[in-house]
Amino acid sequence: MTTYYESDSALAQYLWLHYGEGRGLVSPSSPFACALDFPVRCAHMLLGTSAAPAGADGRSPLRALDVGCAVGRSTFELARVCGEAIGIDYSASFIRAAETLRNGEAIDYSTPFEGELVTTYTARRPPGIDPARAHFEVGDAERLREDLGTFDYVLAANLICRLREPRRFLARLPALVKPGGRLLLTTPATWRHIYTPRENWIGGYQGASGPVHTLDGLKTLLGPNFELESREDLALLIPEHARKYELILTEATRWRRRA
Ligand SMILES: C[S@@+](CC[C@H](N)C(=O)[O-])C[C@H]1O[C@@H](n2cnc3c(N)ncnc32)[C@H](O)[C@@H]1O
């Protein structure tokens, strides 16, 4: 784990990725529009067509977990359908921001425009979300607290290749996802030594009988407990400045926990 995710510049980049509205030069009619709203698209892919069932108290009994939630947009989107959505991230700065938004406060932030010029935005909790359904906490995906319980939906977006021991996180998933429940993993499969020692990569290397891709590793590790339901490439943009973005094409896989 590096300190990058605690920095002010990372906070601004992730607030833009999760909540940017009227995103400067990347308008809905721009060539990059399909890469906007990544955290919302992740929640939709995980939920599929699920409607929110009401419990006796009128609240959905469904539970969702968003591991590596950053500043929380997918957690909020899961809370539209689930009576309880928990977002966990290692970064205290990200969780503080998510909690500020949950409390109904706005966050002003700036991203570079050009040279010394910046564009200022305001992040707000998206409309139509009951803040009592969302809960944020600092935590480590490799050491999730034992009393989290079980979930109908678990999301880990672009997390596994940031972990030191991704197998440790993946091994916990069968206990977290209810039988019949769903799991969505997205990953750019970057695999960098500064995050994950080479011996812990689950793909992206030459094996004894040819290349081992991350999806191969996931099938091996998750296969006994999960069935692969669907696979998509989901794009996202991280802003560097108004005319320069990192375009990431993640591999998103949705899995169903075997009964
Ligand atoms: C590439 S970002 C993805 C954030 C978010 N899921 C998204 O798609 O926008 C990786 C996130 O994982 C978090 N993270 C890294 N290591 C972690 C760990 N061991 N436990 C929990 N979160 C971690 C980082 O703080 C960061 O928010």
Contacts of 228 (CB under 8 A, 6+ apart): 219, 222, 253, 254, 255
Beta bridge partners of 231: 253
pLDDT of residue 20: 86
Cα separation, 237 vs 229, in Å, equals: 26
For ligand 1, the distance from its centroid to the CA atom of residue 28, given in whole angstroms, is 26
| Average pLDDT of the chain to the nearest whole number | 94
- Measured from the Cβ of residue 252, the count of other Cβ atoms closer than 10 Å reads 21
pLDDT of residue 54: 65
pLDDT for residue 24 is more than 90: no
Number of domains in the chain: 1
Indicate which CATH number applies to the domain containing 141.
3.40.50.150
Question: Is residue 16 in contact with ligand 1, taking CB distance under 6 Å?
Answer: no
Residue ranges making up the domain that contains 225: 4-50+59-257
Specify the residue with its C-alpha closest to ligand 1, atom 13. 68
Q: What is the mean pLDDT of residues 32-46?
A: 95
Question: Is residue 142 in contact with ligand 1, taking CB distance under 6 Å?
Answer: yes
| Predicted confidence band of residue 25 (pLDDT cuts 50, 70, 90) | confident
Cα separation, 192 vs 194, in Å, equals: 5
Question: Is residue 242 in contact with ligand 1, taking CB distance under 6 Å?
Answer: no
Q: What is the length of the chain?
A: 259
Specify the residue with its C-alpha closest to ligand 1, atom 8. 157
Express each pLDDT in 72-91 by its tens digit: 999 999 999 999 999 999 99
Cα separation, 60 vs 52, in Å, equals: 6
pLDDT for residue 178 is more than 90: yes
How far from 59 is each of 13, 53, 79, 80, 191, CA to CA, in Å?
A: 34, 8, 11, 11, 40
pLDDT for residue 1 is more than 60: no
Q: What is the mean pLDDT of residues 211-218?
A: 98
Percent of the chain at pLDDT > 70 equals 96
pLDDT for residue 154 is more than 70: yes
Express each pLDDT in 52-76 by its tens digit: 666 667 779 999 999 999 999 999 9
Question: Is residue 158 in contact with ligand 1, taking CB distance under 6 Å?
Answer: yes
Residue 1, token pair as written in the block: 């784990």
Cα separation, 249 vs 186, in Å, equals: 10
pLDDT of residue 30: 84
Express each pLDDT in 107-145 by its tens digit: 999 999 999 999 999 999 999 999 999 999 999 999 999
pLDDT of residue 245: 93
Pocket test for ligand 1, best of 17, 71, 90, 234 (most atoms within 8 A of CB): 90
Longest dimension (CA), the chain: 57
For ligand 1, the distance from its centroid to the CA atom of residue 233, given in whole angstroms, is 19
For 154, the 3-state DSSP assignment is: strand
